[in-house]
Amino acid sequence: MSYEIEKFDPEIFDAIESELTRQNNHLEMIASENFTQPAVMEAMGSVFTNKYAEGYPNKRYYGGCEYADKVEQLAIDRLCELFDCKFANVQPHSGSQANGAVYAALLKPYDKILGMDLSHGGHLTHGSKPSFSGKNYQSFTYGVELDGRINYDKVMEIAKIVQPKIIVCGASAYAREIDFKKFREIADEVGAILFADVAHIAGLVVANEHMSPFPYADVVTTTTHKTLAGPRGGAIMTNDEDIAKKINSAIFPGLQGGPLVHVIAAKAVGFKHNLSPEWKEYAKQVKANAAKLAEVLVSRGYDVVSGGTDNHLVLVSFLNKEFSGKDADAALGNAGITVNKNTVPGETRSPFVTSGIRIGSPALTSRGMGVAEFEKIANWISDILDDINNTELQAKIKDEVKELASNFIIYDKPIY
């Protein structure tokens, strides 16, 4: 089959083909990545990529937006249905942009933020010092205990001392369920706005496989990829009309110009997938696969932070090992198993080296793998880490990985 891109730009075509081969042959286990539907990619490659649509449905600054209005309203309505909320903004280009808009809408420069420490599982945009969230605002942190879990009484103590304007709950490397009701009680005690970032767990939330941030949070952000398995992008939700208006102004004209209508169309397609009956079964399998992964790693003697998982990811600590997260990331990558190095509670190494790895189940679950495959993969991971410098073993397992992966092809044909 011939494609326009192959004729016009063979270098880029080759890179796309190579990436498709890599995705098919490797085991993608980065917790923040997933494989989306061909229909989502078709929407992203549609003629909407040509259209400017600054503003919001029926309130545009450009003409010719009647069909852009239709797809954006569909995306809004479907997202509100998914989360059972009243207002949504589907224009953020990313989760970080969504979080930035929340702060811009609800805070003044140097107001106080209380969020989860990055090395304990938080996100850069929850107040980390290198991020805009740590530069433009006074940021304070809470973390986890030695058991790897949030101690809500401790969070309450910190909140009373800090008196933050906004409390951020949500994480990028926390394997246990987040109790939004307890965070609501903490926010009420100190008069703070409660902001929930569910970027990682959104796909579980909408399937009722994780506690919902509504009705507890004042404002909620998410990415639309990760566990939602849609296109890369962000979104913001609330039940408060005044907050919704402030959010809309913060996104446009505050932080962004023209929305990416082709991506919004793809978000709408993704949300339709999330609303389907089979989505609940997918989310259950994501959790079951992650639980099996944690179970095997623990049985093989590895320090799984918090001892297991309630969601889609497993965080493994090497604080008691001579090798680093970076070493483990590289060794597993050599064997065709893609994870990411990650900081862990009690971190002693730099963020560029780390003392742990984060492993997720969403992408391989999207490929159709179940607990039997995850048990096999967890043992491969353990074998590699047991003898981390054994490149012959890595090569042997890479062949086995490729054979397993060949039974779970992602796409029958490339989508351009």
Reduce the secondary structure of 326-342 to three states and give it as a string.
HHHHHHHHHCCEECEEE
Residue 34 lies in a domain: no
256/304 same-domain check: no
The pLDDT of residue 143: 97
For this structure, is 343 an active site residue? no
Residue 131 lies in a domain: yes
pLDDT exceeds cutoff 60 at 47 = yes
Model confidence band, residue 416 (pLDDT cutoffs 50, 70, 90): very low
Query: Any idea what DSSP says for residue 17?
Result: H
Q: pLDDT digit string (tens) for 385-401?
A: 999 999 999 999 999 99
**Degrees to nearest 5, angle at CA 76 with 73 and 81:** 125
pLDDT exceeds cutoff 70 at 415 = no
227/80 same-domain check: yes
The pLDDT of residue 261: 98
For this structure, is 137 an active site residue? no
Residue 3 lies in a domain: no
Q: pLDDT digit string (tens) for 354-373?
A: 999 999 999 999 999 999 99
The structural domain count of the chain equals 2
Residue among 6, 42, 54, 383 flagged as catalytic? 54
245/296 same-domain check: no
302/246 same-domain check: no
Q: Which of 133, 131, 154, 134 is nearest to 144 (CA)?
A: 154
For this structure, is 227 an active site residue? no
Residue 1 lies in a domain: no
222/295 same-domain check: no
270/325 same-domain check: no
| CB environment 164-184: b (16+ within 10 A), e (fewer) | bbbbbbbbbbbbbbbebebbb
For this structure, is 181 an active site residue? no
For this structure, is 52 an active site residue? yes
Region 189-217: mean pLDDT is: 98
The pLDDT of residue 414: 55
Residue among 78, 232, 272, 367 flagged as catalytic? 232
The pLDDT of residue 281: 98
Residue among 60, 226, 292, 341 flagged as catalytic? 226
Domain of 232, CATH number, reads 3.40.640.10
- Domain encompassing residue 375: 280-405
Residue among 6, 17, 42, 52 flagged as catalytic? 52
47/174 same-domain check: yes
Region 229-242: mean pLDDT is: 98
Residue among 125, 141, 221, 223 flagged as catalytic? 223
332/258 same-domain check: no
Region 141-147: mean pLDDT is: 96
207/286 same-domain check: no
Instruction: Please identify, among 222, 250, 274, the residue that sits at the C-terminal boundary of a domain.
Output: 274
121/167 same-domain check: yes
Edge-to-edge order in the sheet of strand 340-342: 303-304, 313-317, 356-360, 340-342
Around Cβ 151, how many Cβ atoms within 10 Å?
15
Residue among 33, 197, 310, 347 flagged as catalytic? 197
398/269 same-domain check: no
For this structure, is 54 an active site residue? yes
The structure tokens listed for 325 are: 């997260």
175/255 same-domain check: yes
Model confidence band, residue 1 (pLDDT cutoffs 50, 70, 90): very low
Q: Which of 142, 145, 166 is nearest to 155 (CA)?
A: 142
Instruction: Please identify, among 257, 274, 291, the residue that sits at the C-terminal boundary of a domain.
Output: 274
